[in-house]
Amino acid sequence: MTDDITAIHHTGILTRDLDGLERVYRALGFTLSPRSRHLLSARPGATPQAGCTANLCALFGGSYIELLGIVDESAPDPWHTTAMADQYEGFRILNLDTDDAAATHARLAALGMRTSGVLDLERDVDTVEGARTVRARAVHLDPRTTPEGYLGLAQHLTREYVHQPRYLSHPNGARGIAAVLIVADGDEFDGIARRYADLLGAGWTDERPLSVLEHKDVRLELVRAADAPDVLPGESAPAPSYLAAMTIRVDDVAAARELVERGDIPTRTTAGGFFVSGRDAYGAGLFFTAR
């Protein structure tokens, strides 16, 4: 078991229609941080430049959902975000939390995993004390080795500027990301399962039709594409393997559902709460639960 990866850092939904994505997630009852343009460095110590993306975030104090939009396709794109969107838009990004990006990179390299090396990210945000610069470090796995999505490990350097108390209260009562559901093509299932087990130093348990990996505050759920209709009835598949859904903890499932439906967003009852289709949430299925 490894100690450097402790939680889900954030999930990311990518679009070229950031205005529309923002409207939907506000209607779902999420409080969103103000829009912020990314400043990106191609390598540690390089001068940051305004990139092609901006974001807003639904922040929970630990994990968060990033609403990521391409806002200037002529701007620098060192992280190849436009190529990601050209494949398909939607739930594309999963980042796990590390307290030492450099050490995590060294460990993954020793495991034979191909990575980006350590990347620096900055973006300016408003705080109650005035403008501040959010800084983070990240390690991305080579996307050619992660068919389900863009997988990374991220380290906060200025967590207090991201998870500001004024953004942590949500009308839908959201408290955090409880799990991420991954659909795996039959031919890719074993490789995906093995990679996460190696990454987290933990094993999968059988909760058919799901395989579940739990490590500290990380819960990943993996289902074969052939069994996905049992878990995600009626949902479309954007790729053979893909990030399909996330589970959001809320204080009161009934109150959250009432709010979502008041926004004219359809819901479906599940064993633990309710579900919003990826068709209505910009490509990310959303399970709401009180667990």
Q: Which pLDDT tens digit goes with each residue over 168-216?
A: 999 999 999 999 999 999 999 999 999 999 999 999 999 999 999 999 9
144 and 23 assigned to the same domain? yes
Domain ends where: 120, 136, 167? 167
Residue 123 burial by Cβ neighbours in a 10 Å radius (0-12, 13-18, 19+): buried
17 and 127 assigned to the same domain? yes
Q: What is the mean pLDDT of residues 221-233?
A: 97
Are the C-beta atoms of 21 and 15 separated by less than 8 Å? Answer: yes
Domain ends where: 148, 167, 186? 167
pLDDT of the residue at 72:
85
Strands 5-15, 64-70: pairing is: parallel
251 and 120 assigned to the same domain? no
244 and 268 assigned to the same domain? yes
28 and 132 assigned to the same domain? yes
Domain ends where: 167, 184, 215? 167
186 and 278 assigned to the same domain? yes
Number of domains in the chain: 2
Domain ranges, residue 97: 5-167
pLDDT of the residue at 279:
97
One-letter amino acid at 58 equals: A
Say which residue, 42 or 94, is predicted with more confidence.
94
122 DSSP β-pair partners: 39, 135
81 and 196 assigned to the same domain? no
153 and 282 assigned to the same domain? no
pTM above 0.75, yes or no: yes
Are the C-beta atoms of 122 and 53 separated by less than 8 Å? Answer: no
| 117 Rama sector, left if φ>0, alpha if ψ -120 to 50, beta otherwise | left
Here the CATH number for the domain that contains residue 25 is 3.10.180.10
- Structure confidence at residue 44 as a pLDDT band (50, 70, 90): low
Residue 277 burial by Cβ neighbours in a 10 Å radius (0-12, 13-18, 19+): buried
